[in-house]
Structure 1
Amino acid sequence: MTRFLTLIDRLSRLAETAAVALIIGYCLLMLTEVVARARAQSFSFTWEFSTYAMAAVFALAAGPAIRTAVHVRITLVTELLSSRVTKWLDVGANFVALVIVAAVVWAIYVKTAGSFDRNILATSVSKTPLWIPQALVLWGFAQLWLDLLARLIRRASDRPFEWRGADKEPSDV
């Protein structure tokens, strides 16, 4: 089981790295557009590709956010309960989240497969095959499902399940 959880953690770091690369690409696209507009020009692809990048960043960063506990959490109820009840409430919530995210992954898969099979292209000048940005979003939500599964397994088996501050620099501590 430890090897399986370690694999999920490594895949999560890969998704996180891809999200960072896409944020850098997004910034470069927007900077390119700003410079072009300052010269009274514009590139038709910058807004389109930056939209794809932001959708992929959102999806790819969701799983790592669960892993490192930087997502939004409302603890009003859990702070009033015992640690044992809180644990099993968390396990139940994780299970429900797994079911919901599985439905989302399936829907995105169907959409991506349909775009690939039909060779659907963007209606823009770039004519981007839509399965490419959709596949990045699919990857992100599949990773979210895996990170939720790892969290559920760890929480139910009393293993450390969150890495709060895992990405902090030593100077931040």
Structure 2
Amino acid sequence: MALTLLVLADIFLAFFSRYLHFIPSGTGIGWEYSAYLMGAAFLLGAGMTLRAGLQLRVELVMSSSHRIVVRVLEVVSAILGSAVSVTMAVWLFNFTLRTYGYGEVSQESYTPLWVPQAVLTLGASVLAFQMVARLVSALAGHPLENPTLGAASAIE
């Protein structure tokens, strides 16, 4: 919601500043905060999307293959996903700690940069946890998805 309001505020300011010259052409922090909010929205929702089974997949391969082949593909994809997401979470955690240690702030809003970076780190950590949980479930032969957790169906 904050992302939508921020983008709308920048759009309205840009429009009205053309006709009323005393109105600024933007918020000044619109691009900066929009980028962090978009990253946070994506990463914070990715873990639940994965668990609900609403992520994009190659269903043609999965539905036409034998059960054993599907399980092997699930394990391999979970290994790759775990490696990438854990690496990203660790990297973002170190990046956030370094930014905090240096005391870096935004040039536009003077916001301490570790604050939005911590939200990104949290989202990446949730995704990494879910990928590792998926790997463990795939190796154990348990169901990998829980469609009741989704807010919509996979078709939507």
1:120-172 Cα shifts (integer Å, max 9, x gaps): 11222x12211111111111111011111222222333332212364357xx9
Stretches of structure 2 lacking an aligned partner (at least 5 in a row) = 18-23
Asked if residue 157 in structure 1 is aligned to residue 140 in structure 2, the reply is yes
Residue from 37, 50, 66 that aligns with 1:66: 50
Tell me which residue corresponds to 1:148.
131
What is the alpha-carbon distance in structure 2 between the residues aligned to residue 168 and residue 137 of structure 1?
A: 22
Tell me which residue corresponds to 2:94.
110
What is the alpha-carbon distance in structure 2 between the residues aligned to residue 103 and residue 69 of structure 1?
A: 22
Decide which moves more: 64-73 or 38-47. Answer: 38-47
- Given that 2:52 and 2:146 are in contact with CA atoms closer than 8 Å, whether structure 1 keeps it comes out as yes
1:41-79 Cα shifts (integer Å, max 9, x gaps): 221122221121011112112211211122111234434
1:2-54 Cα shifts (integer Å, max 9, x gaps): xxxxxxxxxxxxxxxxxxxxxx1011112222332333122112222112101
1:85-113 Cα shifts (integer Å, max 9, x gaps): 21122112212221222111111111111
2:107 alignment partner AA: T
1:54 alignment partner AA: M
1:72 alignment partner AA: L
Residue from 39, 54, 60 that aligns with 1:55: 39
Change in Cα spacing, 1:76 to 1:167, as seen in structure 2 (3 Å) is closer
What is the alpha-carbon distance in structure 2 between the residues aligned to residue 77 and residue 39 of structure 1?
A: 52
Residue from 102, 118, 131 that aligns with 1:135: 118
Tell me which residue corresponds to 1:12.
none
Computed over aligned residues only, the root mean square deviation of the Cα atoms, in angstroms, reads: 2.3
Tell me which residue corresponds to 1:37.
14
Structure 1-normalised TM-score?
0.74
Asked if residue 25 in structure 1 is aligned to residue 2 in structure 2, the reply is yes
Change in Cα spacing, 1:137 to 1:64, as seen in structure 2 (3 Å) is same
SS of residue paired to 1:93? helix
What is the alpha-carbon distance in structure 2 between the residues aligned to residue 89 and residue 81 of structure 1?
A: 10
Structure 2-normalised TM-score?
0.81
Query: Aligned residues, how many?
Result: 147
* Same amino acid, percent of matched pairs: 25
Higher Cα Rg: structure 1 or 2? 2
SS of residue paired to 2:59? coil
